[in-house]
Structures are given as C-alpha cells and as structure tokens.
C-alpha cells in the first residue's frame, strides 16, 4: 500500500506499525526488501510489535496525542479485543496496574470538564475500574458498551439497580436524556429541537458523543441548548445497528399500515400492543421512552405537533432490511401509524402493563399447580424448596380470582409433617380449591402440553384434562387420514396475525365421530413449521369452514422451535417434556 501510494501520500506517512506479524508476513517483507529498489524508505518507517499490549505501551511513550491510544482500543473488533484481554491476563499485576493508571491519566486529561477541579469526573467511576486487575480476570466491557452509535440496542450500557443488582431495562443513554428534559420542562418547548445544526453546533454534538462513549453521562447536563441533545437523541436512533422496530417486526407493522385506512382505532391499538409484547424488555422499554418523549414534546411545543414529529421519525424508527417498491408507496401510512402511537402511548403501555401483570399471575398459578401436583404424587416432603421461594417472590399483590390466596397456600407449601393422614388432608383441600377454578362458565380450559408429529398421526399429551386438574392427563391421537379441515386462525386478542391451527377430523366410516381442535400458543415459529408439515401429509383435506372449535389445546411445541411468550388467556406453560409411551 505504501509503495503503490503517491509521493505526497508517502511523505505524509510518518510511521507504519505491524502488530503480531505472522511468518508469512515476515517472509513477504523480506522478499519485498530484496526485490524492490524503492522499498528501503518504507522499511525505515516500519516497527514490529509482538503483542497488542506492546504497541499500546509504545504509543503511550512516543505519541504526543494520548487520546490516540483510547481511539485505537475503542475501534478494535471484538475478536482483537478478546486477544488483547488475554494478553493482559498474562501480564504481572504490577504491569497491569501501570496500564490502568495510564488509561486513567489519559481519560482525565482528555475528558475532564469540571471547571472547579473538584474531584474526579463522574465517568471514571464507570470507565476506569473496568481495567482494574481483579485476581484472575481483567475485563474491558466499557470501551464497547458506552460507545453506542452504530451498535445494537442490546449492547447499550445499562446501569444496575443498587437494590437488586439487576440491570435496568432502559439503556443509560436514554435515561440521562430523559432526566435532562425532566430537570427543565421548558427545554421541550424549543422550536429547533430537531432542526439541522450548523458546523459549530455540530462540534458540540461530536463532543457529547465522545464523552458518552467513555461513560461520562453527566456531561450531557452541561449543555444549555436542548437542540444539541435533540440532535444526539435522533442520531442514536438513526444509526443503530437495526431500527427500533427491528427487521423481524417490521413486516408486522407493515401489515397494520396496509389496513390502517378505514380500520377502527381500537383494533389498531390492540395489534400494536400485541407486537410490543413480542419484544424483549430492552426494546419494549426503549419504545416506551421514545413515545413518551415525543408525546410530551408535541404537547409542550406548538411548532412540533405529533404529526410533524412523526414525519421526522417515521423513517428512522421503521426501516426494512431491503427497501421494496411497496415500502415507499405506503410510507405515508407509517407516518399515520407513528402519529397514532405517539398520541395513544399512555393507553398502549397501560394495556401492556396489565397484560404483563396477568402473565405474572398465570406464572404464579402454574407454580401453585405444579406444587399441588407434586404434593399429590409424592407427598409434602417431596416438594422442592425452590418452589416455595419462587412462589413467595411471585405472589406479592396477586390474588387470582380469589380461588387461591396466600393464607390458603402457605400451610401446604411449608408443612413438613410425616403423618399420612395430614398429607391426605392437604391433598383433599388442594383439590377443593382447584375445583372452584375449574367450574368456569366458559366450560373450556386451555391445556398445556406438547404436540408430537409422527409419520402417520399427530400426538398431543398434557398432564391436565378439561374436567379435573389432577388425575389422568389428556392424550389425543389424530390420524392424518382423518383430517378434513386444516387452517390458520386468530385466537384470543390476536386479530391480525394468525396464531392458531384449527383441525376438524372425522373417522373413516363413522360420520358421528367429528372432533375439532385448536392448537395455539406455539413456541417461536412452531405454528408455521407444524402447519407446513401437517398439510402435505393429510390426503383428505377439504375447503376449511369458519366454525369455532370445541376443544381448546394450548402450549404446543415442536422439536425445532424456540421459547417465546405465551399470550393466551388462562394458559399455563409446561417447561418439561416427556416422550409418548406409544410411538409409531
């Protein structure tokens, strides 16, 4: 590269560093020096370093601009960073401490902004300690995680809760932006919040990005001009590794946009809520913050209405992996969709919180059911202690339909009696409680279990049945030749995306043996895989009829599916799987 470059470029090159040269590289350099007449000048500028740490030490000693070291480390790929971490592990404690002090000194000189000089910058509490020598491990997570521009959302740095030591779901960069506007509500009224900035102002945005890249989040509060923070907020969303909607969920939003004209607002809100429930907590809480901020800006600013803001952010939040002609034609609908989401953000997330509370309640009920089943099978002494601990954590504030309360469950989960009569008494009381639950006016219960597909039939197995919770479980065998109707359906609150497989069967020669089944709440991609397998293997399929099923079966899975959130009402997930006794 040096030899093929122009004379001007060769003169501008001051030094060439080669880190960890292989034998092949050394041989090629030797041959080049021997064969090329003009190669002597380049070899005067070459320095070879056996390790990355050697190069870092060299730059620390000879480079006048100390920030070059940090810029070099920050831009290392993950594989190279891993190699550098291994090198640091091999250093002696004294040498590792020297590099720690070096990085602290560089960070202090480059990023110290305290005018009064009191104390260390706030970012050193997060950034420098990550280089400290801690026994056998030396980790460098902060270099990559604080540098959020262009990174995936799940890689953004998140602060840990001091009470639980768990990470907050909203990234720290968004939390400090939220606090910035909460501290002074008048900043929301700035008319140029998302306007284009001149070069001088843009330098402040670059400076803000540099400080946040090293974990100095408090530096954001030093800006009095909210347009700098607004531009940085927009840049984070614009240059993420993938848009906030994610490439996976973009087709779902696109379906809503295609039918948004003339559709009822309640139906659109339910569909948006269902999509948000499919996100991981980090994406869901980021959506909550973004819509919350845009809503309050539209309320406080007479120049930035919800429609105007949606025009600015619709092509930032919603982007496909590859643009198609249809994507450009319906872009106006994406603006309308985002306007609707901004205006109804409080309602959307109120429904999400209620759904999450219900899911937590169902999880608690599942733990009670599992504990009761274990009690009936093995007795009280066989109950695992973790069941009690999990239920203690989950039952706070929950009272599922008044059927099982804390006072009811506490004696049975903590009792350790060895007398057979007391165990039988507890069994009977459990069954009495669950009979109250099973006497539902809907007369239908979603059964948790597993769906197996063989070469001749479908096999469904559940530990529960639709009449009693305990006792003999439910088994269904559906021969492919008996299947007359097979179709995808929407179940429960899902109105747009089919989440259910409907099957109607009639045994050959027996017209009175008609049965109907609904398999729903599949694990990720399980419904699609199951449907694609069942359809070509059913020789007697007819045109599907739009009738409701009479037997509800839920939580089916296939061997190639991945776990997902079960959104069905009254459904209970089963985490274990057993093989069928009769297999083909």
Residue pLDDT, tens place only, 413-472: 344 344 445 545 555 554 454 444 444 434 456 777 888 888 888 988 887 776 655 556
- Write out the H or E segment, with its range, that includes residue 295: helix 281-300
Residues 344 and 200 in one domain: yes
Tell me what pLDDT residue 580 has. Answer: 38
Exposed (0-12), middle (13-18) or buried (19+): which is 308, by Cβ within 10 Å?
A: middle
Residues 121 and 245 in one domain: no
Burial 318-336 (b: 16+ CB within 10 A, else e): bbeeeeeeebeebeebbbb
Of 299, 305, 303, 306, give the one whose Cα is nearest residue 338.
306
* Cβ neighbours, 10 Å, residue 1: 8
Query: In which domain, by residue range, is 10 found?
Result: 1-45
* Cβ neighbours, 10 Å, residue 462: 21
Tell me what pLDDT residue 390 has. Answer: 43
| Distance from C-alpha of 521 to C-alpha of 446, rounded to nearest angstrom | 10
In a domain, 404, yes or no: yes
In the three-class reduction of DSSP (H, G, I as helix; E, B as strand; rest coil), residue 519 is classed as: strand
Which domain CATH number covers 302?
1.10.555.10
Residues 182 and 280 in one domain: yes
CB-CB contact of 545 with 485 (8 Å): yes
In a domain, 560, yes or no: no
In a domain, 525, yes or no: yes
Tell me what pLDDT residue 466 has. Answer: 64
Residues 270 and 375 in one domain: no
Residues 262 and 325 in one domain: yes
Instruction: Give the end of a domain, one of 416, 438, 460.
Output: 438
Residues 39 and 58 in one domain: no
List, for residues 515-541, the tens digit of each pLDDT value.
Answer: 888 888 777 677 888 888 898 888 888
Compute the half-sphere exposure of residue 380: CA atoms within 13 Å on the CB side of its CA. 21
Q: Indicate the angle between helix axes 226-238 and 306-317, nearest 10 degrees.
A: 40
Residues 234 and 116 in one domain: no
In a domain, 461, yes or no: yes
Residues 453 and 474 in one domain: yes
Residues of the chain with pLDDT under 70: 33-39, 64-67, 70-71, 74-75, 78, 89-145, 147, 163-165, 325-328, 371-445, 466-472, 492-497, 524, 543-584
CA dihedral 178, 184, 186, 191 (to 10 degrees): -50
Residues 421 and 452 in one domain: no
Instruction: Give the end of a domain, one of 381, 405, 438.
Output: 438
In a domain, 153, yes or no: no
CB-CB contact of 471 with 501 (8 Å): no
| Distance from C-alpha of 493 to C-alpha of 489, rounded to nearest angstrom | 12
In a domain, 485, yes or no: yes
Residues 207 and 226 in one domain: yes
pTM greater than 0.85: no
| Distance from C-alpha of 262 to C-alpha of 256, rounded to nearest angstrom | 11
Residues 178 and 320 in one domain: yes
Tell me what pLDDT residue 414 has. Answer: 42
Tell me what pLDDT residue 104 has. Answer: 44
In a domain, 166, yes or no: no
Of 283, 176, 279, give the one whose Cα is nearest residue 233.
176
Residues 196 and 324 in one domain: yes
In a domain, 363, yes or no: yes
Instruction: Give the end of a domain, one of 413, 438, 463.
Output: 438
- CA distance from start to end of the chain: 66
| Distance from C-alpha of 196 to C-alpha of 384, rounded to nearest angstrom | 61
Question: Into how many domains does the chain fold?
Answer: 5
Residue 450, beta-bridge partner list: 461
């Amino acid at each position: 590269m040096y030899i093929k470059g122009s004379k001007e470029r060769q003169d501008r090159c001051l030094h060439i560093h080669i880190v960890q040269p292989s034998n092949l590289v050394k041989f090629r350099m030797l041959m080049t020096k021997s064969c090329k007449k003009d190669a002597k000048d380049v070899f005067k500028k070459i320095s070879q370093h056996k390790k990355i740490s050697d190069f870092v030490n060299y730059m620390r000693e000879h480079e006048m601009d100390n920030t070059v070291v940090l810029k070099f480390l920050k831009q290392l790929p993950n594989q190279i960073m891993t190699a550098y971490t291994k090198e640091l592990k091999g250093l002696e404690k004294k040498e590792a401490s020297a590099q720690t002090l070096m990085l602290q000194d560089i960070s202090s000189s480059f990023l110290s902004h305290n005018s009064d000089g009191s104390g260390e910058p706030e970012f050193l509490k997060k950034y420098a300690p990550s280089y400290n020598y801690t026994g056998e491990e030396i980790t460098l997570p902060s270099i990559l995680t604080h540098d959020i521009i262009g990174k995936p959302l799940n890689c953004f740095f998140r602060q840990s809760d001091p009470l639980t030591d768990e990470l907050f779901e909203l990234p720290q960069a968004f939390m400090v932006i939220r606090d910035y506007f909460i501290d002074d509500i008048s900043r929301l009224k700035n008319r140029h919040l998302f306007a284009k900035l001149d070069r001088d102002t843009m330098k402040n945005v670059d400076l803000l990005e540099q400080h946040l890249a090293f974990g100095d989040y408090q530096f954001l509060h030093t800006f009095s001009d909210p347009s700098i923070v607004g531009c940085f907020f927009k840049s984070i969303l614009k240059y993420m590794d993938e848009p906030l909607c994610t490439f996976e969920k973009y087709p779902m939003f696109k379906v809503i946009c295609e039918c948004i004209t003339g559709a009822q607002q309640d139906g659109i809100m339910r569909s948006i809520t269902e999509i948000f429930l499919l996100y991981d907590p980090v994406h869901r809480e980021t959506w909550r913050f973004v819509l919350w901020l845009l809503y309050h800006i539209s309320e406080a600013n007479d120049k930035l209405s919800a429609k105007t803001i949606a025009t600015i952010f619709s092509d930032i939040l919603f982007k496909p992996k590859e643009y198609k002609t249809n994507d450009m034609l319906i872009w106006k609908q994406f603006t309308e969709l985002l306007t609707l989401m901004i205006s109804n953000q409080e309602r959307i997330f109120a429904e999400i919180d209620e759904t999450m509370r219900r899911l937590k309640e169902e999880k608690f009920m599942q733990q009670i059911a599992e504990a009761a089943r274990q009690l009936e099978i093995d007795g009280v002494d066989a109950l695992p202690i973790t069941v009690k601990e999990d239920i203690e954590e989950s039952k706070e504030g929950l009272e599922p339909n008044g059927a099982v309360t804390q006072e009811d469950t506490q004696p049975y989960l903590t009792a350790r009696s060895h007398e057979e009569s007391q165990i039988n008494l507890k069994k009977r009381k459990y069954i009495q409680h669950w009979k109250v639950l099973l006497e539902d006016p809907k007369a239908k219960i979603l059964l948790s279990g597993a769906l197996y597909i063989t070469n001749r039939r479908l096999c469904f197995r559940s530990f529960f049945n639709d009449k009693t919770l305990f006792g003999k479980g439910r088994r269904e065998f559906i021969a492919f030749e008996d299947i007359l109707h097979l179709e995808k359906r929407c179940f429960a609150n899902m109105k747009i995306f089919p989440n259910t497989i409907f099957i109607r069967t009639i045994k050959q020669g027996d017209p009175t043996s008609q049965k109907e089944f609904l398999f729903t709440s599949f694990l990720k991609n399980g419904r699609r895989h199951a449907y694609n397998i069942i359809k070509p293997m059913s020789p007697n399929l007819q045109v599907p009829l739009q009738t409701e099923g009479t037997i509800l079966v839920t939580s089916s899975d296939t061997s190639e599916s991945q776990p997902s959130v079960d959104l069905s009402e009254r459904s209970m997930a089963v985490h274990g799987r057993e093989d069928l006794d009769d297999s083909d």
